[in-house]
Amino acid sequence: MKYPRTFHLPGSPGATADDRIQHDLSWLDGELVVTEKMDGGNLTFTRDTMFARSLDSGTHPWDRPAKALWAMTAYRIPDEWRVCGESMWARRSVAYTDLPGVFLVFGIWDETDTLLGWDDTVDWARRLELPVVPVLYRGGSLSEARAAWAAQRTEDDSEGFVVRATGRIPASEFDHKVLKWVRPGHVRTPASWRHRDDFPVNEFA
């Protein structure tokens, strides 16, 4: 049930010594979808529960609005499916001013532990009345994907981007078909904010 680790693209400036870099890009063939890497907290909704990166992670104060949303949404999630996204209520190092919701979907896993194709992800997010993360590019070129992020975002207002194959992705292929590029020093929020109840929050559309 733990969300899998996302490897970095080669040349990702935010990769540290503890991160994994995927040098084999041959799996990223065909059509690609590039979404913005949001500066939020990883959350998973299932029919029965909500959790952060793993089942024993508990609920944090900054996830309370997302938990309220989960309570209204859970009954519509199919059994053994996992709806994964970013909890966006708390403001971290990027200050958002027009977010479409407190929880933005970036992936949905079905009962076979397969990540749905992007079009099915968008379709299911609509059925659940949940917004998805912004799409910056869709096409067949990784270089165009990088350029699309650079044309629409800067290192000051975006953590980076995630590139994935458009089709279905079995868990065994996740580390080849879902990769990220992050800005240098992308974690810019003091750790102390997690121990406060008066943390800043983002603004919503």
Give residue-wise pLDDT tens across range 95-122: 999 999 999 999 999 999 999 999 999 9
Q: Does domain 7-191 have CATH number 3.30.470.30?
A: yes
Which pLDDT band, with edges at 50, 70 and 90, does 60 fall under? confident
The first and second tokens of residue 90, run together, are 């708390």
Residue 57 has pLDDT above 80, yes or no: no
Buried/exposed code over 42-69 (b: 16+ C-beta within 10 A; e: otherwise): bbbbbeeebbbbeeebeeeebbebbbeb
Cβ atoms of residues 11 and 21 within 8 Å: no
Looking at residues 173-186, what average pLDDT do you find?
A: 90
Q: Tell me the pLDDT tens digit for each residue of 10-24.
A: 999 999 888 999 999
Looking at residues 144-169, what average pLDDT do you find?
A: 94
Residue 193 has pLDDT above 60, yes or no: no
Which residues make Cβ contacts (< 8 Å) with residue 163, sequence separation at least 6? 9, 28, 32, 33, 34, 142, 145, 178, 179, 180, 181
Q: What predicted TM-score, i.e. pTM, was given to this entire model?
A: 0.92
